[in-house]
Structure 1
């Protein structure tokens, strides 16, 4: 997907339709900000064309453009995959959400575990939540993006990090892998070492993130505050990405 953006822009120039162009402009803006390691101000608009949108566009630009629109739509729906390959980002933070986390949850300090390239840490820092980014960094040894963190990342696995940084108000984890039980180990460490803090996981319930055992056993805390936060964090693709808070037991 190395020529992702070139191909998207080329097809947009050939199709010449305002609905398509609006989405391509959004893609360019996202990539331009990430190239500068900047955090988006707000969540991006939905990317990808629905079947009825495709039909409507084809009525206006001609059926001969069908193949190009199909390819472009596939690229738009692959945006998250491109961001993971190019920037090591699976979840796209925004400042509106980060500021709402501070305001609604009343937190001033945070620990990001399994941080990857730590764009959520950059967002929380920008929202004036003092944040420590941590990761075991095993993935970075084989990834071309492993040397491009948005902030300094401390080399600690999730349990070690929670045990060491017990003073934080918030622990946050974005896109925990769905093939290990590291997420459950992190919850257990939170309960043991810093249960007074809030614990947030960002991902897709029973889907792309976290272990099946996590979703089967963890109790989620539902609140008006979290609903307000999630209203600012709409997903830009077919993955139903949300922010989840783990229920306190104290």
Structure 2
């Protein structure tokens, strides 16, 4: 896994390669921010090289292999399965406007913590049952309500008094090992009021159930994707789900 010492050693090895140094410094900044329970400030594009670039610069293969460890480092060391940045959090808050946000399956609730720091009304929900995962020790960045996601959705809709108070549900990197995401979408669709569900994940890939992707009506919203970037080979994006 990645750490500061390993990254500084890589800097010495790639001291004459400006493009590689930019990537290494980016990861150093990311890990330094996470150590302080802060999100990185700005968007960053895929840190890994494509096959064509590696064929022209085989000397970068060692660095590429090292940076491919970032995802595992985030999960094991920080309990984070996806990595939003501060610019994207601002986009999400602007999109939500006065409506509260409920982060379902929040994990360590880094997103909720960042939204709270901006003064946005947010509630983090998670079962906190991480047994069998690469990181089994939740260390939330902010208060997390221990509850299953579907129950939280039902209670939140019952509490909403008018359309302006109806929450926006955010579900990032839902596991691909259960149909919980599909049950949530089914329930939302069964209700008389319109709903707002934002999903961050890789369509038909590393996140969410197959049933969910088959049935979800997806919209790639421009505002919600202008500062969100995949940082490795997993091509996750931000979807409005109808």
Please tell me the TM-score bracket, short chain as reference.
0.7 to 0.9
CA deviation string 1:80-127 (max 9, x = no partner): 221111111111112222222232343431111111111121232234
Structure 2 unaligned runs (5+)? 161-165
Q: CA deviation at 1:77?
A: 2.0
Q: Secondary structure at the match of 1:244?
A: strand
Q: Secondary structure at the match of 2:7?
A: helix
CA deviation string 1:16-67 (max 9, x = no partner): 2211111100000000000000122222233123344445556xxxxxxx4x
Q: CA deviation at 1:231?
A: 1.6
**Alignment RMSD:** 2.3
**TM, length-normalised to structure 1:** 0.84
Q: Secondary structure at the match of 1:184?
A: helix
Q: What is the alpha-carbon distance in structure 1 between the residues aligned to residue 126 and residue 35 of structure 2?
A: 22
From 184, 187, 211, give the equivalent of 1:186. 184
Match of 2:11 in 1: 12
Q: What is the alpha-carbon distance in structure 2 between the residues aligned to residue 197 and residue 125 of structure 1?
A: 22
Residue 103, structure 1, aligned to residue 103, structure 2: no
Contact in 2 for aligned 1:107/1:169 (Cα 8 Å): no
Q: Secondary structure at the match of 2:80?
A: coil
Q: What is the alpha-carbon distance in structure 1 between the residues aligned to residue 140 and residue 153 of structure 2?
A: 20
**TM, length-normalised to structure 2:** 0.86
Q: CA deviation at 1:172?
A: 0.5
Q: What is the alpha-carbon distance in structure 1 between the residues aligned to residue 136 and residue 34 of structure 2?
A: 13
Q: CA deviation at 1:75?
A: 1.5
From 106, 119, 132, give the equivalent of 1:115. 106
Range with greater deviation from structure 2 (190-199 or 161-170) = 190-199
Q: What is the alpha-carbon distance in structure 2 between the residues aligned to residue 149 and residue 102 of structure 1?
A: 20
Q: What is the alpha-carbon distance in structure 2 between the residues aligned to residue 140 and residue 26 of structure 1?
A: 31
Structure 1 unaligned runs (5+)? 59-65
Match of 1:229 in 2: 224
Q: Secondary structure at the match of 1:139?
A: coil
Match of 1:92 in 2: 83
Q: CA deviation at 1:184?
A: 0.8
Residue 131, structure 1, aligned to residue 110, structure 2: no
Q: What is the alpha-carbon distance in structure 2 between the residues aligned to residue 152 and residue 193 of structure 1?
A: 28
Q: Kindly tell me: are residues 39 and 15 of structure 1, through their superposed partners in 2, closer, same or farther at Cα, counting changes over 3 Å?
A: closer
Match of 1:244 in 2: 239
Match of 1:207 in 2: 205
Match of 2:142 in 1: 151
Q: What is the alpha-carbon distance in structure 1 between the residues aligned to residue 127 and residue 74 of structure 2?
A: 21
Q: Kindly tell me: are residues 195 and 177 of structure 1, through their superposed partners in 2, closer, same or farther at Cα, counting changes over 3 Å?
A: farther
